[in-house]
Each structure stands twice: as C-alpha cells, then as structure tokens.
C-alpha cells in the first residue's frame, strides 16, 4: 500500500510515482496560485519564483508546478536547480507574490516535495497553509481562459545574487589571504555549484566531492555523522583545514574539522552565532531542540536566546518580531536575516570561514573553546492522547524544572534540559536531552522511559 501523501505546514512531500505525480503537483500549485490571487487586494498580475533541487524527478515536477500556476493566471520565473534559500532570496528580490521549491530536503532520492514560500520568503503560517490545503482538497481552482494564462521565463542569476549577498557581510580579502583549504561535499544536490563558486571567490583551495547536481546522491543525503565518512577521509587525505557538507537543497550545513572529525550539526549555528555577535548586538532565535551552546555564546555577549517551536518558519517569524540578525536550528540550519529568512548553508560557510580567519585559529581549536554537552535524540511511537499523558506525567516528575510548552514541553534544569514533542507528520514523539555529561542525561532519560513504560507499554 503506498503511504498517504504528507501535506504539512511547509508544503507537500511524497514518493514519486507512488503518491506524488505530475497531476498532484499541478493541482497543488494551482491551489497555491488560487490562494495568492485571493490574497491579492490590488488585483495585479502575480509572479511566483520557482526553483528545485537536483533530484531526477525535479524537472517533471517543475513543469507540472509551472503549468499549475500558469493555469490559474500566475506568471512563473524558473530559477532552475538552486538551493532552497536562493529561492527565498529571489522571491523577495524579484517582488514575487510567492516562491515554490521542489525538494524533499534530506530525504532519499525516491522522495520529492513542494515547499511554499510567501512574498517575504517564509513558509505560510498555520492558518494560511490550512487554507491552501483546503483549496487543494476541495479542488476550488480559479482556472483562467487562454488569454489570461500565466507566462513563463527563466532567470539564471540566483547564484550571483545569493553569493553577492553573502560576500557583502564578510571580509572577502581577509579570508582569501588566509588561503583556506576546503573539502566540499554537496551530495550531488543543488548546493555544489554556488558553494564552489563562493569558496573560489573567497580564495579557498577547494577539493570538490559530490558537487555535480545530478541528484544521484553519493551517500544517504542527511548530513549527519554516519553519512559523512567519505568527507572525513578526504579532509585527512588532503590535509584540508575544514570540510563542509550540505544537504540536497543546501539549507543545512555540517562541518568536519582539520583532523577529519565530524563536529556535529549543532556547532554550525553555534559557530555562526559566535561570528555574527562580534559585530552585531542581536538576540539569537533558536528552536526548543537546539543545544545550550547558543545560550553560553549569548551569555558571553550579554544577549538573550529566544526559544521557538521547531520549524524554520517559527524561527524566522520570531527573528523578525524580535529584530534578530542570527538564528536557526540545531540541525545545521542557520538563518542570517541580512541574507534572508531561510536556513542557508552558504551564509554559514561564509561566517565560519570568517571566524577561523578573524580568530586565527583552527576549527578544532574554536570548537574546543565552546563548552561541550552530551546530546541524546530518540523517537518512540505515541499517539496524541498518549503524548498528552506522557507530558502530564513528566511535568509531575520534573516539578522543579523551568517549563516551556510552546511546542510539546521542554524542561530546563540547572545542568541540562529535556524536550518532548510530537512529530507533525507521523504518530511519534521525540525526546531530545542535553546535559553536561552522559551520566546526567541517562538519569533523566531513564525517568522519561519509565513514564513511557507505564503509558505506552
């Protein structure tokens, strides 16, 4: 039985040929176009920026999405194979009413998806995405007659625009003078071409691995430790200063140090924030599952950490509200508002290289400067009724903790925290625990598991 197509806040995701095909993509795009037209008070001709990652199914879905938008009278600017953050940047730059990215992010090749952005480059909030989903399910498409069909054009300037923005917030010559050697693993996704170009403009000597946008992923695409063995080996082999790994749509970045050690995705935001706070007095926004490292960095600079529910749009909205320059998520997704409101591997590459240069230290030395924590992540089956009971029992158990209930429940203790939350897409609950030591973490994990045993069995 093919799985049900997932339509969530950030768009739609499915398995191509099973529950995702051209007609679904065209209707979903027609629903988005219809929604945008309903929002359009001034009745002007609307334009949507459309980009995709490198998956082999991308071209087929791109044509379908473009047709769906044009069928309701919306013009389309095709950006081609570009990182997700580039679509956000171009949506704003070109004054588009919205953006669409065809990507399934870090999911394997058989998946693809359609991610929607509003005119500010951010995914629609809950109520608006529910409206789009409703138009799609009810098939209330506002199709137009021949003369009013949307027109299509191509724009190949996204790399240039995006790179120029990153270069504008870093010291290109200073980084170039340091002659940094970088191994870049783009998993044959959308990020290879612009990241290579950015690194070359920064005078780096680049060893590219998996940087062709074929969409034939050279390894399991999520940029986590177990998938980056090749990158770690190449860094050692070439005696490089640093290794960068992007996910297929290049919104996440993971880093390998000069000794070939994968340092963990949590450090991408921590290091980027360290760099930004040198010149910017800004609070940091981070989701509830992100490491306390950002709290330590913020405390040192006398700024606050604003904790948000998990999800890029939640972080971006909090950043706008509080005027944050820097924010993001612990999975390697860094948002720098000077570039745009989307998680962006290119900006974090620039910031980390600037940090190495300014501090005149190796990456390993910089990592050693940040207090380290032990983090444990786990998920278990639990429906929403069970999840509610688990959280209630955990609140009784951890009565002395500081509690944040904006997304599940996060319990903060003096020496660490535990976050329990439900997945948006499957009947599972996630537990993330971070403490100064693994022994301390185990104590709290044990208590949660005991609760779990009595409720789920």
Look at residue 403 and give its three-state secondary structure.
strand
Residue 119 vs 249, nearer CB to Mg ion: 249
Residue 249 vs 412, nearer CB to Mg ion: 249
Residue 13 vs 410, nearer CB to Mg ion: 13
- Positive or negative CA dihedral for 291, 296, 299, 303? negative
Q: CB–CB of 377/448 below 8 Å?
A: no
In whole angstroms, the minimum distance from the beta carbon of 301 to Mg ion comes to: 28
DSSP classification of residue 13: E
Residue 34 vs 86, nearer CB to Mg ion: 86
Catalytically annotated residue among 105, 186, 272, 282 = 105
Contacts of 248 (CB under 8 A, 6+ apart): 53, 54, 55, 103, 104, 105, 106, 187, 188, 189, 190, 191, 215, 217, 221
In whole angstroms, the minimum distance from the beta carbon of 246 to Mg ion comes to: 9
Query: Strand (E) positions, 27-135?
Result: 47-52, 75-81, 98-102, 111-118
Residue 159 vs 312, nearer CB to Mg ion: 312
Residues 142 and 135: their CA atoms lie apart, in Å, by: 10
Tokens of residue 166, six digits: 């990153």
In whole angstroms, the minimum distance from the beta carbon of 99 to Mg ion comes to: 15
Residues 282 and 302: their CA atoms lie apart, in Å, by: 9
In whole angstroms, the minimum distance from the beta carbon of 249 to Mg ion comes to: 4
Q: Is 384 a catalytic residue?
A: no
In whole angstroms, the minimum distance from the beta carbon of 176 to Mg ion comes to: 29
The sheet with strand 416-422 has its strands ordered as 374-381, 428-435, 416-422, 409-413, 402-404
The greatest distance separating any two alpha carbons of the chain, rounded to the nearest whole angstrom, comes to 69
Task: Specify burial of residue 238 (Cβ count, 10 A radius: 0-12, 13-18, 19+).
Answer: middle
- Mark out the alpha helices in 179-265 (DSSP H runs): 192-201, 229-237
CA dihedral 176, 180, 181, 182 (to 10 degrees): -90
**Site residues (CB under 5 A) for Mg ion?**
105, 247, 249, 251
Residue 119 vs 251, nearer CB to Mg ion: 251
In whole angstroms, the minimum distance from the beta carbon of 189 to Mg ion comes to: 9
The catalytic residues are 105
């Amino acid at each position: 039985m093919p799985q049900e197509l997932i339509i969530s806040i950030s768009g739609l995701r499915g398995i191509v040929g099973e529950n995702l095909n051209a007609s679904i993509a065209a209707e979903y795009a027609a629903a988005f176009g219809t929604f945008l037209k309903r929002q359009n008070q001034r009745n002007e001709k609307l334009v949507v920026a459309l980009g995709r990652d490198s998956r082999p199914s991308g071209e087929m879905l791109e044509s379908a999405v473009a047709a769906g938008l044009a069928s309701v009278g919306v013009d389309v600017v095709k950006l081609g194979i570009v990182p997700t953050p580039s679509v956000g940047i171009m949506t704003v730059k070109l004054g588009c009413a919205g953006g669409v990215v065809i990507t399934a992010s870090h999911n394997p090749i058989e998946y693809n998806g359609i991610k929607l952005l509003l005119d500010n480059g951010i995914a629609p909030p809950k109520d608006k995405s529910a409206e789009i989903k409703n138009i799609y399910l009810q098939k209330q498409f506002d199709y137009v007659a021949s003369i009013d069909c949307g027109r299509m054009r191509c724009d190949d300037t996204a790399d240039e625009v995006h790179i120029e923005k990153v270069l504008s917030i870093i010291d290109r010559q200073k980084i170039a003078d340091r002659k940094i050697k970088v191994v870049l693993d783009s998993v044959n996704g959308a990020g290879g071409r612009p990241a290579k170009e950015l690194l070359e403009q920064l005078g780096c000597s680049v060893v590219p691995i998996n940087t062709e946008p074929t969409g034939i992923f050279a390894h399991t695409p999520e940029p986590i430790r177990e998938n980056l063995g090749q990158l770690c080996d190449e860094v050692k082999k070439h005696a490089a200063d640093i290794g960068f790994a992007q996910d297929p749509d290049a919104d996440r970045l993971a880093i390998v140090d000069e000794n070939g050690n994968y340092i963990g995705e949590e450090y991408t935001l921590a290091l980027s924030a360290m760099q930004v706070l040198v010149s910017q007095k800004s609070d940091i926004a981070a989701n509830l599952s992100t490491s306390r490292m950002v709290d330590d960095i913020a405390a040192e600079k006398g700024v606050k950490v604003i904790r948000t529910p998990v999800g890029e749009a939640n972080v971006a909205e909090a950043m706008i509200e509080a005027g944050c320059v820097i924010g993001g998520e612990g999975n390697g997704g860094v948002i720098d508002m000077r570039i745009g409101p989307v998680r962006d591997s290119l900006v974090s590459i620039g910031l980390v290289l600037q940090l190495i240069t300014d501090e005149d230290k190796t990456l390993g030395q910089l990592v050693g400067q940040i207090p380290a924590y032990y983090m444990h992540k786990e998920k278990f089956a639990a429906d929403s009724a069970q999840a509610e009971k688990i959280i209630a029992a955990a609140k009784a158990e951890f009565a002395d903790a500081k509690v944040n209930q904006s997304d599940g429940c996060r319990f903060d203790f003096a020496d660490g925290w535990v976050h329990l939350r439900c997945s948006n897409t499957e009947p599972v609950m996630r537990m993330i625990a971070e403490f100064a030591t693994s022994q301390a973490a185990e104590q709290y994990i044990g208590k949660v598991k005991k609760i779990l045993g009595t409720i789920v069995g």
